[in-house]
Structure 1
């Protein structure tokens, strides 16, 4: 009997999918992982991207994809201000709508011998909803956060009505009854002068979720069963939790930043499970005072550490200028500092015993999948929700909740790496690693969801011909 996959391959001959990632590392990586996954299922892939991420390495590392660049209309200074997320995304949405529509119209008219089966857009592109509808093109949405944090975002109008927002410092430890296990301080917030405008934009994006052809999640059923149940009840739209996306098969590096391989050479000299790996992602920035506390906290822990300090991530500094005098001499060979590291390779290394993370969803999933317990230090948005789930629900990490302090840092690092509580956390996360491994294997929950996604794409494309 012919398998479902083989039937799909025959049906999908010469079918093309258009993918449109947001030009930030945490969004580009899962979109390209999804592209490779759908290519393996028989679809042709076209990536529409803004000039912000134009790079020769994308076509060279992905020769099986077609790439189309559109202008973003941003000045050099506006591009360099990508760490102001709300402003940056707002500008992109204002500037890219018309170029995107022009590109889409051209692609739809140019591929009569290779029909377009649908569009997969990053959920943050607000204008793709109306453009896809006007062109009668099925539109799927890739959400690069998890389901739990999306439900928190969707609840912002209710939380405002209930008086949780705007946040008050005296209420930060108060539980959010409507969203257990969150506390008030965990409610997703973003830095902007126009909070009301931001909430309106988020509400519009949430509403658009209800009208798309389907929502693709980089998560899996066993991890977020409760949140998925809530989503299915409140949003009557097909959903496809097919993560962890990076677990299906190795794909070429999609990092927008140059990776320092000396991180691996240094790890090769360290004892098993002895190193704390520290990285706060590709966007977050910290104050100089925090940077100094982190430095001395790592030194005082007396544990080996691999520390990623992204150039420009310390406010007002180029790179390591704020390091305390004599710091490098103090740590000697016990610490290694790089500008960027090959994170998946680092987390898979036998020397790594813990991950001090900003709790971005990609990083959290990667830590899950390698069985590496976490120290959570969220900065903004969905990271706060992720950190609460890691520490209080899944209990596979420690939440660094108070003001950054060198003595607290040293204490938490030792707890995770050498104390009994850290060993208990490591045992628990190994169970989650097993669940993640099984989910993407044949007949696993994510594998089955992927098959359902393929069927939905084919069904939507067929209906579009009617």
Structure 2
């Protein structure tokens, strides 16, 4: 039987929601934000199951949220794979979690007489084997999707796209600019993909993600909102057999912040010394990697741009380095005098800072939402997965950003940074970003979406 890190007695007698996040940075934050909303606005008791890998610290969360470790068992070499091969590590972790996850849910149901019944289980939708196991437990199941509605539709259509020849086997495929019927404004080159993998491995994994969306469940929760994805949400709901709840932007609705790395808060004081909208903030998120060549060109381009910059250079950012736990070295001779380089930053505060005038981003969904909600124009450099989908929407649907050119060198990088920060195109996307921010704030002011979800959970 799993041990309790914090007793779930708080909230005894209330209906309980059990949540199981995927233990990676971009997935933990929205799940904990959702947990806080279900507790605060819904009056529901909340229990969070978690892995030993990247285990959360209960002391950093509200005392009435219960934490239950499932104690998955991974071989030492499988644990080490996280820094080298995220895909291999995830598949091992997913398989190792099935049995302890089942045991944890069974234990919580046994306690239902004292603690209040388990209304439902909310899983990160990227769990695969765990999600299939959850569907067999006899407890209502909901999935939290930490990607956009557009990406969700892309995944749902993946088998059809493969059959119709729209999946790009090579990044520079001659069909990459061809529109994809039914998924406009996406082109072939914008579809979800995993560069650097062989075609068979990539397609097999995306197919699993697609099939997971069809696992029997009671509902789907999305971290998005009508102001940016009304059409996509309508189409997605028509394609799903269950109800979809768009409850985002979660980071604006809940104060919960989860970070696996301590942020360098000194960068906020550094920003204080700069004029409004003068600094470009650069971050490739928590797991994306770039090659050593691209990293060096980023450094030289930032230096040549003449624009002040705050750059997150985290351990593991450069793929293929001998030690992924060490911060990558900057190229010899590059002038960093206009910038500040940190291993991690308090991103939400940085984006909200008056000195931040641009966001060079990988366009992960959390980062995209945070940029939109602060009205910061973006320079997009997608790396893998849903980031190409998000980039297309940032640049061609919402018009709040520019994409870095495909030929990646220091001259073009410097030009792109200057254009975003002081050029005419930069002014245009900045105006669009300000307007979209207003619409996002209007969505935040409404509690209807989360209230609908709470009512639904109570009815299960």
TM over 0.5: yes
Deviates more, 1:103-112 or 1:310-319: 310-319
Q: Which residue number corresponds to residue 99 of structure 1?
A: 100
TM-score after normalising by structure 2? 0.91
1:320-331 pair list within 5 angstroms: 322-327=329-334, 330-331=335-336
More helix by share: 1
Closer/same/farther in 2, CA of residues 298 and 325 from structure 1, 3 Å limit: same
Is 1:51 equivalent to 2:52 in the alignment? yes
* Secondary structure of 1:33's aligned partner: helix
Is 1:203 equivalent to 2:206 in the alignment? no
Deviation at 1:53, TM superposition (A): 1.8
Deviates more, 1:404-413 or 1:354-363: 404-413
Give the Cα–Cα distance (whole angstroms) in 2 for the partners of residues 266 and 396 of structure 1: 26
Give the Cα–Cα distance (whole angstroms) in 2 for the partners of residues 401 and 457 of structure 1: 46
**Residue pair 1:160, 1:166 contacting (<8 A) in 2 also:** no
Q: Which residue number corresponds to residue 68 of structure 1?
A: 68
1:15-414 pair list within 5 angstroms: 15-40=15-40, 41-55=42-56, 57-82=57-82, 84-113=85-114, 114-168=116-170, 169-190=173-194, 191-193=196-198, 194-208=201-215, 211-251=216-256, 253-315=257-319, 316=321, 318=323, 319=326, 322-327=329-334, 330-332=335-337, 334-414=338-418
Give the Cα–Cα distance (whole angstroms) in 2 for the partners of residues 320 and 28 of structure 1: 23
Deviation at 1:321, TM superposition (A): 5.1
Give the Cα–Cα distance (whole angstroms) in 2 for the partners of residues 247 and 307 of structure 1: 24
Deviation at 1:388, TM superposition (A): 0.4
Deviation at 1:86, TM superposition (A): 2.6
Q: Which residue number corresponds to residue 8 of structure 2?
A: none
2:431 to 404, 423, 427: 427
Closer/same/farther in 2, CA of residues 311 and 456 from structure 1, 3 Å limit: same
Deviation at 1:200, TM superposition (A): 3.6
Closer/same/farther in 2, CA of residues 396 and 326 from structure 1, 3 Å limit: same
Deviations 1:322-353 (CA, angstroms, capped at 9, x unpaired): 422222xx232x10000000000110101000
Deviates more, 1:359-368 or 1:194-203: 194-203
**Residue pair 2:292, 2:318 contacting (<8 A) in 1 also:** yes
Deviation at 1:317, TM superposition (A): 5.3
Deviations 1:188-243 (CA, angstroms, capped at 9, x unpaired): 112545235324412321211xx311111100012101111111221131111010
Deviation at 1:401, TM superposition (A): 3.8
Give the Cα–Cα distance (whole angstroms) in 1 for the partners of residues 423 and 218 of structure 2: 49
**Residue pair 2:313, 2:328 contacting (<8 A) in 1 also:** no
Deviation at 1:403, TM superposition (A): 2.9
**Residue pair 1:309, 1:339 contacting (<8 A) in 2 also:** yes
**Residue pair 1:47, 1:66 contacting (<8 A) in 2 also:** yes
Q: Please list every run of 5 or more consecutive structure 2 residues that lacks an aligned counterpart in the other structure.
A: 1-10
* Secondary structure of 2:224's aligned partner: coil
Give the Cα–Cα distance (whole angstroms) in 2 for the partners of residues 354 and 54 of structure 1: 33
Closer/same/farther in 2, CA of residues 206 and 134 from structure 1, 3 Å limit: closer
Closer/same/farther in 2, CA of residues 341 and 199 from structure 1, 3 Å limit: closer
C-alpha RMSD of the superposition = 1.9
Deviations 1:404-459 (CA, angstroms, capped at 9, x unpaired): 21111111111111112212211111111111111121xx3xx2121111111011
Give the Cα–Cα distance (whole angstroms) in 2 for the partners of residues 170 and 146 of structure 1: 27
**Residue pair 1:48, 1:67 contacting (<8 A) in 2 also:** yes
**Residue pair 1:59, 1:67 contacting (<8 A) in 2 also:** no
Deviation at 1:257, TM superposition (A): 0.9
Deviates more, 1:137-146 or 1:226-235: 226-235
Closer/same/farther in 2, CA of residues 429 and 99 from structure 1, 3 Å limit: same
Give the Cα–Cα distance (whole angstroms) in 1 for the partners of residues 31 and 152 of structure 2: 18
Deviations 1:349-373 (CA, angstroms, capped at 9, x unpaired): 0100000000000000001111101
Closer/same/farther in 2, CA of residues 305 and 317 from structure 1, 3 Å limit: farther
